[in-house]
Amino acid sequence: MTQENSTLIIKDAETYFVVPISRPDFGSSGKTGSWRTERPVVNEEKCTKCLYCWLYCPEDTILRREDDMVYVDYDYCKGCGICAAVCPVNAIEMVPEVKRGEN
Amino acid sequence: MIKTLTGNYAVAEAAKLARIKVTSAYPITPQTTIVEKLSEMIEKGELEAKMIRVESEHSALAATLGAAAAGSRAFTATASHGLLYMHEVLWWTASARIPVVMAVAARAIGAPWNIHVEHSDVVDQRDTGWIIGIAQENQEVLDMTIQAFRISEDPRVYLPVIVGLDGFILTHTVAPVNVPDQKDVDNWLPPRRQPYVITPESKIAMGNMTSDDDYYMMRYSIQVGQEAAKKVIEEVDQSYGKAFGRYYGGLVECYRCDDADYVMVLMGSWAGDAKEAVKILREKGINAGIARIRFIRPWPAEILREKLYNKKGVLVFDRSISFGNAGQLFTELSSTLYGMTNIRGVIAGLGGVDVLPEDFANEMIDFVNKVEENGKVYDPIKWLFPAKYRNVKIEEVVS
Amino acid sequence: MPVRLADFPRVRYGMPGNAACPGCPETMGLRYVKMALGDDVVLVIPAGCSSVIQGYTPKSGINFPILNIVFASAASAASGMQAAFESQGKDTTVIVWAGDGGTGDIGFQAMSGAAERNDNIMYICADNEAYMNTGIQRSSLTPYGAWTTTTWTGKKEHKKNIPMIMIAHEVPYVATATVGYPQDFIDKLRKAAKIKGFKYIHLLAPDPVGWKFDPSLTAKLGQLAVQTGLFPLYEYENGKLTVSVFSRLYRKPEKRVPIIEYIKVQGRYAQLMKDPEKIKGLEEEIERQWKWIDILEKSSNPSSVAQQIIKENK
């Protein structure tokens, strides 16, 4: 591992001012898609666009196209599987990430 | 306009003149009449502000912080146990860098219950990041409270400020106070400034987690703000002096200390009695003076060093004690003056015990004698017992 | 007003990439707050899971402006913010988003104070029934029989009924909701936001980590809590208690899903599963809930009781 060598240059040490504030932004804990052990895969033929998966997704990582067909933001989806569990027509399958890697 | 005001009413007048928008407090003796007065002013329509009558001091400061974080000038007041109860929120407020002003009616801490003056509650807050001032008399209470808003809201500082006033001796004693005109205060006190506001427009979240490295740098930044406050407090006091004709000396009031051989260091209302003692001592041929600490945070180390390094001796009076060590002013000052001069700490006046001008004078005479006998004196603690116990042998008291 | 999902604009209501555990009910709930109330909202969050979910500065993983505050005084800080907004002529909704500990234990005094003053804030308790953020310790809202790291053999005492305590404060609006029925929660949020004064919503938030269930079941468990009768959905408004649509069917014990369906999927109830006698303790909690509802419903709505008596006599 390389150690990051960051040098903070304080031009005017007498006015150094930092406050503990943040603004809403994606990835405050990084790309949380890497936490996933299973990924939700939408079967567009089965999907009835009822939007239950979109409604219940805790992470807001089920997205809607113009026609309300849903797709997944894999950058941040944590793979909890709620979308698959609430789908009334079983149109979402949870696929193990390991298996995908092998493919 | 000259009014006869108690210290507490002087605080309320000052808060009104500063046009606070929100105040929140919980009753505690001897602070209570501050918020009683503010409540009266609000209900009579003299002060356009909202008062949140909370169920505890912890909530009082939390509500004050909430209002201030949302962008309004906010004020609270407390004392003693109330201050200790809100201690956690003091840290949070200072670290949030949100300007807030709080009056503290300095009072002893139990057990047992004691409602009289002591500085333990105020000095207990030294490490929180707050700027902490203590006034000597009612006029200074009013002036320091108005000044506190400008200090707190100065972008170089952005830290909350405590204005300390001695319980009962100031809070409940009337004295003539020159109350400035609203128009003049409006001209002198700039509109509220703060580093950020938490609103739907700003989208700011304050206080979520941060990396340890950034946390460290935020701590550094608070220290920078405290250091800057030394300059700001002096500037503000001078500017106030120009506008209103009263200047107090910034961080330290130097009373006949420039030509003095021996200097008493203390803070709060009893400085008035000590000043009487200086007169007695000078009549007796001892060149005494006083360095009255007006702000214990930021600690005026440079000024004290400059004023005291070449004195024959420094006698510190603490109205509080850090058990197991010594009085807090003594420990601070002895580190500031390390090796420079003779120094002794006296613990006196705890729980409101009277200390008379003669007491100060006698303590100084005792100290001078010791210095002249020994050449070198380093006495962390000398107890000035209450008059009732002064002639009793310690063994008898303890057993 | 029924909520139609397709009517919601295609925007991100949540804030992906936050620090919440997979299947977190709190990020679900916060998303519904955004859906219901939009942007003119400020949150006050005391210590708890939601203070961690935000992740690290300079980013925040919750899609609202937030004043994070010490554990015990969230409601008071919210009162302060609201007072400031009001004096600035703004009608921004200030919401406390607290956990069960921050509501029913350490934050209770401040909340009770704000409720008594009828301060114009909304208080949402995201109840995951234990101190989850510190590692699953029991709170006064942990239900009977549940394992936590401070109740290894199951909690011996019953869950503190905070919504009923808030009703006793006679605030203008009290409601229960769960992430299992988002439409119901969104309805209640919208209704509450229109009411001036103190509004309390108790949101049951099934927690996969602390309750030890598969994270895909968060919503399902929210629904089961209602269907077993254990967590009735209701509203209390202007002195009148109304059982919400999703709970009406389950006021009759024979219609309820057996409690075993709810507890068998939760690891925290493993002790109960071994000892059927103890399940009775949880069943008592159900009866107690509905007893209070019956009493309040009858006392607040005498005419409907009269009608029922007439109906029964026919």
The closest alpha carbon to B165, from B276, B291, B267, B292, belongs to: B267
Same domain, B21 and B136: yes
CATH number at residue B325: 3.40.50.920
Nearest residue of C to residue B87 by CA position? C70
Domain covering C5-313, topology? Rossmann fold (3.40.50)
Q: What is the pLDDT of residues A26-53, one digit of tens each?
A: 999 999 999 999 999 999 999 999 999 9
Same domain, B222 and B280: no
Same domain, B192 and B290: no
With CB atoms and an 8 Å threshold, state whether C27 touches A58. yes
Q: What is the pLDDT of residues B93-110, one digit of tens each?
A: 999 999 999 999 999 999
pLDDT at A102 over 70: no
Residue A40 domain-assigned (yes or no): no
How many whole angstroms separate alpha carbon B112 and alpha carbon B320? 16
pLDDT at A103 over 50: no
Average pLDDT over residues B270-294: 98
With CB atoms and an 8 Å threshold, state whether C5 touches A55. yes
Same domain, B224 and B97: yes
Q: Any idea what the Cα angle at residue C151 is, between residues C110 and C55, rounded to 5°?
A: 55
Q: Work out the percent of chain B whose per-residue pLDDT is above 90.
A: 97
Same domain, B107 and B200: yes
Q: For this complex, say whether ipTM is above 0.85.
A: yes
Q: Are the C-beta atoms of C123 and C98 separated by less than 8 Å?
A: yes
For the record, the structure tokens of C43 come out as 């949150």
Q: What is the pLDDT of residues B75-87, one digit of tens each?
A: 999 999 999 999 9
**Residues forming a β-bridge with B290:** B255, B264
pLDDT at A1 over 50: no
Q: What is the pLDDT of residues C143-164, one digit of tens each?
A: 999 999 999 999 999 999 999 9
When pLDDT is cut at 50, 70 and 90, the band that residue A70 belongs to is very high
Q: What is the pLDDT of residues B351-391, one digit of tens each?
A: 999 999 999 999 999 999 999 999 999 999 999 999 999 88
How many whole angstroms separate alpha carbon A52 and alpha carbon A83? 7
CA distance C309 to chain A (A): 41
CATH number at residue B128: 3.40.50.970
Residue A15 domain-assigned (yes or no): no
CA distance B223 to chain A (A): 10
Residue A32 domain-assigned (yes or no): no
User: What string of pLDDT tens digits covers the 314 residues of chain C?
Assistant: 566 899 999 999 999 999 999 999 999 999 999 999 999 999 999 999 999 999 999 999 999 999 999 999 999 999 999 999 999 999 999 999 999 999 999 999 999 999 999 999 999 999 999 999 999 999 999 999 999 999 999 999 999 999 999 999 999 999 999 999 999 999 999 999 999 999 999 999 999 999 999 999 999 999 999 999 999 999 999 889 999 999 999 999 999 999 999 999 999 999 898 888 889 989 999 999 999 999 999 887 666 655 666 666 65
Same domain, B206 and B287: no
Chain position carrying tokens 């390094």: B309
Last residue of a domain, one of B194, B227, B244: B244
Last residue of a domain, one of B221, B244, B267: B244
Nearest residue of B to residue A21 by CA position? B206
What is the side-by-side strand order in the sheet with B288-293? B252-255, B288-293, B262-266, B313-318, B342-347, B378-383
Same domain, B377 and B324: yes
- pLDDT score at A2: 41
How many whole angstroms separate alpha carbon C75 and alpha carbon C119? 9
The closest alpha carbon to B328, from B121, B117, B148, B29, belongs to: B121
Same domain, B94 and B206: yes
**Structurally, how many domains does chain B consist of?**
2
Residue A37 domain-assigned (yes or no): no
Rg (CA), chain A: 20
**Structurally, how many domains does chain A consist of?**
1
CATH number at residue A74: 3.30.70.20
* Residue spans per domain, chain C: 5-313
Same domain, B259 and B377: yes
When pLDDT is cut at 50, 70 and 90, the band that residue A3 belongs to is very low
How many whole angstroms separate alpha carbon B238 and alpha carbon B250? 8
Work out how many CB contacts closer than 8 A connect B with C. Answer: 167
When pLDDT is cut at 50, 70 and 90, the band that residue B394 belongs to is low
Work out how many CB contacts closer than 8 A connect A with C. Answer: 130
Same domain, B21 and B89: yes
Q: Largest Cα–Cα distance of chain B, in whole Å? A: 70
DSSP state of C146: -
Chain B residues within an 8 Å CB radius of A20: 95-96, 206-208, 210, 215, 218
With CB atoms and an 8 Å threshold, state whether B218 touches A20. yes
Looking only at the bridges linking them, the beta strands covering C41-45 and C93-99 are parallel
Q: What is the pLDDT of residues B170-196, one digit of tens each?
A: 999 999 999 999 999 999 999 999 999
Same domain, B33 and B182: yes
The single-letter code of the amino acid at C160 is: K
Same domain, B165 and B22: yes
Domain with B288, as residue range(s), is 252-398
